[in-house]
Structure 1
Amino acid sequence: ITERKQIEILYKTIFDKTGIPMLILNEDLVISDMNAEFEQAFGYTRSEIIGQLQWPALIADDDRGRMIEYYALQKKNLSALLENNAFTYVLKNGETQVGAILITSIPGTGKSLISIENIADLLETRTKLKSTKEEMNQLLNQLPDYVIIHEGETIVYVNDEGARLMGKTPEEIIGTSVLSFAAPEYHDLLIQNIGFRYQGISIKPYLIEVAIPSGERRWLEVRSASLAGRLKDTTLAVLTDVTEQKKAETALKESELQYRTIIENMQDLVYRADISGNLIMISPAGVRLAGFSSADEMIGCNISHMFYSNPGERENLLELLQKDEKVTNFPTSLVDKHGNIHQVTVSSHFYRDIHGNIIGIEGILHDVTEIKKAEEAVLLANRKLNLLTKITRHDINNQLVALLGYLTILDETLKDSPEYELAKKAVSVAERINSIIQFTKQYEEIGVKSPIWQNIRKITCDASEQVHLGSVIIKNDISEDIEVFADPLLVKIIYNLIENAVRYGETITTIRFYEEEASNMVLICEDDGVGVIPEEKERIFERGYGRNTGLGLALCRDILTITDISIIETGEFGSGARFEISIPSTGWRKIPRD
């Protein structure tokens, strides 16, 4: 068999067995043979094709010129290939399909072998792949995280957010080192973790800092995974900005430290108990107060059974909490580990879970044991002092009554003598001494009892009922819900203002009480009498001023001062007196009345 015959046999075998549509062309491009696959794919019979058609007749008009050029290049140089050898061909039924063509010259024959492969599925796959890639890019660019793909240390992809973080375009970043995303002190960590990942070692998320163009440093959490099917070691890294979270964590730690420092150094007892009264937190001051060595000894103990000297007082506390959900300065007594009693005031409230359910009580206890002892000592001293002054006053009064009796007789005896004026002065002095003695009786009552909350409208009504008003009318326009924190003698002050107005008002017909609210509340008592002359507006508050005995304005001012309340006269002479009683914001409140 000749060499040419061997070549023909070889090509014939390929031609018949390849499974791909094939043609053999003469030099004039006329089809001289076709295999069964071509016949099946194109729908032509051998008699319709062989010797009848030139190969370009099977090519769509738009691609025909390009394919003839491709054929000519192949005939000249077997290695010359067009970049795109895909073309559209026409079937017998007129349908078109896309195929890839490969042209090979058959040595020693002048003929060519053409193979045509249907690549419609391949093109569809490529189209879908391109669409998927575009969708993936859009998705990655919409992410708030920074996404990087790097081969080794070289960045081959960065999403828009990653580029924005670095103040550059993606094109400027691609090709640079992944280390550019980290502050220098984190470069070794990055290199180490990249190496571990390429060795197949799993890397947990870790934190790095990056210095952005503004000079600010941002915290990034790095999560990464190797991408399979790549020629080079490739990593997908997702960097999440956790700067605000880190700031919040830092602020929380600082807050917790401050809170712990405050709690540990507070002299008051801070506690938290569950709804059954079992202690779950206690401050160091509480440990000391209870006589224990550590908080661990106390945690879990039931406070109502172990620490209240009278468990019933805790029940009272719980009743108030159920009513108002908080209690302020509730007085009670505790017993420590050694049996000592401690007087305390309790300010507590319910605390809740995330669903709003009450799960316990927390609050502050203030140890007032020493204050109570001091108060009791002062009260005892006051009682003794009051007893002494009462005895002394009683004895002086007895002597004074006798002295006034003798002076009165002497006054009658010396009526027509030169010594009469001296006798009158002696009587006047004795009466003045009596007035001073009566003043001490009134003054000793000041501050004896603790200040209390009082309904100012009610005590104004009570005071006005005790004064002989004659034709004078009282207008009580004070709001019904206002309470004032003052000495129990407040009612006598109101009485004194009314009594003075009736006594000295001369042309008076009406006395009006009302309030003006601001940060401080001002209680006003005004009348339509003659008023107070300007030079006496302050003198009326001096001790001893006035024409009558009784509770003077000096005493009124002293009583009010006990609870930081002030009083001044601001009326216009000729139009009536006006007393303004200024009460601080902490000294008044509104209590709704049923």
Structure 2
Amino acid sequence: MKEECDTAVVEANNKSATYALVVDLLGKITGLKDEETFIAQMLDLFMVLFSPERTGFVPLYGGSPGPVISKPDGAYPGMDARDQFLACQENYLVTGDGKGFFHQVWYDTDLLGIVHIDGISFPDRIAEYLTICHFVAQVAGLSLANARICQKLTDTQGERDNEITERKRAEGALLLAKNKITLLGSITRHDIQNHLMVILGNIALARVDVTDPAMEEPLREIETATKTIRSLLDFGRVYQEIGSHGSQWQQIAEIISLADVPKGITLETDLRDLSVYADPMLPKVFFNLLDNTVKHGGHVTRIRVSQEQRQNAVVIIWEDDGTGIPAGEKEQIFERGVGKNTGLGLCLIRKILAITGITIRETGEPGKCARFEVLVPAGAYRCDHQPK
């Protein structure tokens, strides 16, 4: 039974990791309207997905090739570098050493470019990489076509009507692609969650049937890994919603009043009718700060939320009397997967705030207190009784 549980955990973990990467990174490149920015983001995406030694892209304009664009820069020296890309006459071409491949990027009947992935670490997974690349290339083709159409609209006023029609067609296709990604994420999460429930159920049964004390530790490790996967899936679900709805004015004191503060902790506020223009998920910022304080603050008895005016910005300060954050971890705690738990809460906080240009940092004194400063720039806050 332990072997079956281990296998199920590994499979579920692999599926969730692939889903998180593909959906997260694709969401960042779809809809970009600048071709140069799009190509750079696309190459970054391939570097993250496949960890190759280098990746490059040759754009095609009506069959005429442009220069080689690469990550890292200058990874394709020599006059014949571009010819290597153009040798790919099919949808894809695996290189002779089996450690890379070329893949065409199409939109409708137009070949927009050719991408090269070279020096992958796991050549035995090249078939899996090609499947992922094929899906990414379809969405990338839509995005690149949209970027080029937007550029034409800027440069060529005489063809405005026809180009707007093309842009709408491309944007409609992009919306369909994004909806498919969302549906794929929902189905994948549901499927993985079902498998995780089976694993947790089998663990509970195993604890009843197994009498060997030596099996308790392996079962506990499997249970912990399974719950971690479930947490990652929840992170993907929440992350997918960030920025999907319009920002709005929200009163901070009203949000804080909804916080479920545990017994033994006093929460004080001094916010003076402060309202902030932010993503609708702003309440999750403060609820996650509270969760972080309770879980990692030590023996916290007091939390104070206040505001300070600093030149053309307002700083919202969340401060407790707990154990604080070590000096070497003040920035790392906002990275995904870093910290005493999964690090997902603080990672989400920074991304939610960044949508309207708000930043957050930790400035507390290690061993004495944790202090989070949320800097709200001019135009994103107000301190009066203006109607929302």
TM-score (norm 1): 0.34
> Which whole-Å CA distance do the structure 2 matches of 1:461 and 1:375 have between them?
41
Change (3 A) 1:483 1:420: closer
How far apart, CA to CA, are the structure 1 residues paired with 2:165 and 2:268? 46
2:354 maps to what in 1?
Answer: 561
Cα distance in structure 2, aligned partners of 1:511 and 1:369:
55
Distance 2:269 2:170 in 1: 40
Tell me the distance in 1 between the aligned counterparts of 2:361 and 2:221.
Answer: 35
- How is 1:347-496 mapped onto 2 (pairs within 5 angstroms)? 381-410=177-206, 412-416=208-212, 421-462=217-258, 464=259, 467-480=260-273, 482-496=274-288
Q: Counterpart of 2:244 in 1: which secondary structure?
A: coil
Distance 1:437 1:450 in 2: 24
1:509 corresponds to: 301
* Cα offsets for 1:48-96 (capped at 9, x unmatched): xxxxxxxxxxxxxxxxxxxxxxxxxxxxxxxxxxxxxxxxxxxxxxxxx
AA partner of residue 353 (structure 2): L
**How has the CA–CA distance of structure 1 residues 430 and 469 changed in structure 2, closer, same or farther, with 3 Å as cutoff?**
closer
Give the equivalent residue in structure 2 for 1:123. none
The question of whether the paired residues in 2 share the 8 Å contact of 1:496 and 1:551 is answered with no
Change (3 A) 1:441 1:550: farther
Q: Which runs of no fewer than 5 residues in structure 1 stay unpaired? A: 1-367
Q: What letter is aligned with 1:475?
A: E
1:529–1:575 CA contact under 8 A, matched in 2? yes
Instruction: Indicate how the Cα distance of structure 1 residues 371 and 554 shifts in structure 2: closer, same or farther if over 3 A, else same.
Output: farther
Alignment of 1:177-196 (within 5 A): none
Distance 1:382 1:450, change over 3 A: farther
Structure 2 unaligned segments of length 5 or more: list them.
1-163
TM-score (norm 2): 0.50
Post-superposition Cα deviations, 1:382-405, rounded to whole Å, max 9, x if no partner, equal 443222211221111112211222
Question: Which residue of 2 is the match for residue 529 of structure 1?
Answer: 322
Match of 1:520 among 313, 338, 358: 313
* 498 and 434 in structure 1: CA distance in 2 versus 1, 3 angstrom threshold: closer
What's the secondary structure of 1:444's corresponding residue?
helix
d(CA) in 2 for partners of 1:396, 1:543: 21
Return the offset for 1:505.
Answer: 2.8
Partner deviation per Cα, 1:565-586 (whole Å, 9 max, x = no partner): 1111000123211101112223
Kindly tell me: are residues 419 and 454 of structure 1, through their superposed partners in 2, closer, same or farther at Cα, counting changes over 3 Å?
A: closer
Name the residue aligned to 1:134.
none
Flag the 1:385–1:508 CA change in 2: closer, same or farther, 3 A.
same
Relative to structure 1, the CA distance from residue 505 to residue 370 in structure 2 (aligned partners, 3 Å threshold; closer, same or farther) is: farther
Match of 2:369 in 1: 576
State the shift of 1:590 in Å: 3.9
Aligned to 1:541: 334
State yes or no: 1:500 paired with 2:296: no
The whole-number CA distance in structure 1 between the counterparts of 2:181 and 2:297 is 39
> Would you say the 8 A contact 2:319–2:371 is kept in 1?
yes
Q: 1:228-377 counterparts in 2 under 5 A?
A: none
Cα deviation 1:507-556 (Å, max 9, x = unaligned):
32221112111212211111122222222222221212345569610111
Q: Could you tell me how far 1:468 is from its partner in structure 2?
A: 3.3
Moved more, 420-429 or 561-570: 420-429
- The match for 1:282 is none
Cα shift at 1:430: 2.4
| Change in CA separation of 1:369 and 1:535 when aligned onto 2, cut-off 3 Å | farther
| Partner amino acid, structure 2, of 1:541 | F
Q: Structure 1 CA distance, aligned partners of 2:341 and 2:330?
A: 18
Q: Which AA in structure 2 matches 1:525? A: W
Deviation, 1:433, is 2.0
* Change beyond 3 A, Cα 1:371–1:456: farther
Q: CA RMSD in A?
A: 3.2
Q: Output the CA distance in 1 between the equivalents of 2:363 and 2:286.
A: 17
- Give the fraction of aligned pairs with identical amino acids, expressed as a percent: 41
State the SS of the aligned residue for 1:586: coil
- Residues 481-525 of structure 1, C-alpha deviations (whole Å, 9 max, x = no match): x33221111111011112322333333222111211121221111
Change (3 A) 1:496 1:406: same
Indicate if the aligned counterparts of 2:334 and 2:343 stay in contact, CA closer than 8 A.
Answer: no
Query: Equivalents in 1 of 2:212, 2:336: separation in Å?
Result: 36
Alpha carbons of structure 1 residues 542 and 479: separation in structure 2 relative to 1, 3 Å = same
Matched to 1:401, the amino acid is M
Q: Which is bigger in relative contact order (C-alpha 8 A, separation at least 6)?
A: 2
**Does the Cα contact within 8 Å between 1:527 and 1:576 map onto a contact in 2?**
yes
**Relative to 1, partners in 2 of residues 1:592 and 1:501: Cα closer, same or farther, differing over 3 Å?**
same
1:561 Cα deviation from its structure 2 partner: 1.5
More helix, by proportion: 2
- Structure with more strand by fraction: 1
Partner of 2:110: none
Distance 2:169 2:317 in 1: 39
Q: Per the alignment, in what secondary structure is the counterpart of residue 585 of structure 1? A: coil
1:487 alignment partner AA = D
Alpha-carbon distance in 2 for matches of 1:528, 1:372: 55
Residues 281 and 352 of structure 2 are in contact (CA less than 8 Å); yes or no, is this contact kept in structure 1?
A: yes
Whether contact under 8 Å (2:336, 2:343) holds in the other structure is: no
Q: CA deviation at 1:417?
A: 7.1
CA–CA distance in 1 between the matches of 2:174 and 2:356?
Answer: 18
Contact map agreement 1:439 1:550 (CA 8 A) in 2: no
